[in-house]
Structure 1
Amino acid sequence: MDELPLPPLLHIDSVGHQTREAAALRRRAARGELLRLATGTYVAADLWQASTPRRRHVLRALAVVDRLDARVVVSHRSAAAVHDVPVIGEWPERVHVTDPARRSTQTSTGVVRHAAPLTPEEARVVRSLRVTSPARTAVDLALTSSFRDGVAALDGVLHSRSSTRDELTAVLDARPTARGRVGARRALSFADAGAESAGESWCRVLLRQLGAPPPVLQQAFPWAGGRDVVDFWWPEFGIVLEFDGLSKYTQARWLKGRTPSRVVVDEKIREDRIRDRPEVRGFGRTVWDELEHPVKLRAELLRVGLPLRTAY
């Protein structure tokens, strides 16, 4: 998870419910200056609006967990938010926790309590939160989510090196009676550290469903000034496929001091350089919209000459 400080939470408990300070917090909330995250816990509304959806969910977790039993551990998508494990879709409104003392999962206002065993090694303390380890988090998501979402989480922890395949396998093996274990095993077998984002993971799943041959991930093409790395490469067909996520044009780690328009120009120059290589016979691109409508991705793959073994 990034090291930027989160907006501070304001707690009525810390000032006393009947104090002037508590009354002032309530008045500020009534005026819209503060946002109530949980009973007696607020955050500045402007700082909330300036936060990313993932960081907002971490704030929800911090607000909620203070009022729960000490034995519970933040888990599933909520733990993914804390560890910055890739997920697809919206962050949940409710905070997910695992309670090893429960016999069944319970959903209540603001919280989903999962019933599952938990070893001391599978918990961490991050930002004062007790949270499942990256390996346990990814396995929990693989057990309870779709194949696509499980792959995204497993790819993410492998790519970030926060977990190894052996660690993930050990965590999954320790849950022999868990529902979803067969699907989780399939997702782990398919997981690949080469996927750099949730979008690339989703694209990998769709490529498999569309009958594309397995691609090489993050293939490097050296040239005199450096090297160009492509997302998907099929050497036997000379086909390149790039996934263009919005982050490439908005996030600092990709912009590297450039404007978005400069990134577009540089990307065009890079594409031309790759296309000019003798081993490259086709160059395709895909975006989030095509992942949501796979027929468009299929058309792009056929356009660049990639054979597909199944109909869609």
Structure 2
Amino acid sequence: MDKTTNGFVNSFIEYLQIEKNYSENTINSYKKDIEQFLLFLHAEGIVVTDVEYFNARLYVTELYHQKISRASAARKISCIRSFYKFLLREQIVKENPFALVIQPKKEKKLPSFFYEEELELLFDVCREPTPLKIRDLALLELLYATGIRVSECANIQLSDIDFDIGTILVKGKGRKERYVPFGSFAHEAIQKYIEEGRSVLMQEKEKHTFLFVNSRGGPLTTRGIRYILSKIIESAALTGKIHPHMLRHTFATHMLNNGADMRTVQELLGHDNLSSTQVYTHITKEHLRKTYMNHHPRA
């Protein structure tokens, strides 16, 4: 990458950090997508400021040849479009060559979720009276009670929890904050963890205020939480394709199945757009259809 192009990219990254307030993970994703695009331009012998619509279409064709998912292709195209929108704003280019490029439609996959019987199996795995199992149960109860992301869970501080009114302050994507309530099961599990689990794990560690800690008393990372959840799922001997994010899907699905309105679930999940939440209506409709087919005499 030449110095001029490198300067354009660095300016764009600063724009994402300062003006857009994007998270570190999102920014790293943008960097990788731009680097891949620049490698394509280098192979074609084109500089960033000379890209035209024809070149943009050629890049989209190259993405198809790589046989990546539609969602990944759409993300990469969106990233480069944003990059050129920034260059256009800064008057570095005269037009956005990706402005008219049509993104591939994402596959409509219904989010997977746990049935209540499956959840009980997960909770049962964590019912041993050891500090780590007490932590794991609190982790599981909180994720199911709130529907927060694993990354949001890793950043929870002790001061973010209000036991009196049963709410937790969650720092979401783009550093946006929201208050999410939690119920009696999570309340009991978290309080027991703080008193009997966290305090034991933290004995020989420099004090910090993160809620969840690892076996050495240090802050539990996003990767660490995913590992713990994967082990819980594995120990419960559940079959099929199961991943930690299913707890978030389960929260939303169970809320809607039990009569919660879409706007409330949207706010609790921290979705910017209602369309992101509406995917769960397909699950609840499928649930209704299966219930009907199983119980109606003339189904």
Q: Could you say which TM-score interval applies, normalised by the shorter chain?
A: under 0.3
* TM-score (ref. length: structure 2): 0.25
Q: Normalized per residue, which structure has more helix?
A: 2
Which fold has the larger relative contact order, with Cα–Cα distance below 8 Å and residues 6 or more apart in sequence? 2
* TM-score (ref. length: structure 1): 0.24
Q: Normalized per residue, which structure has more strand?
A: 1
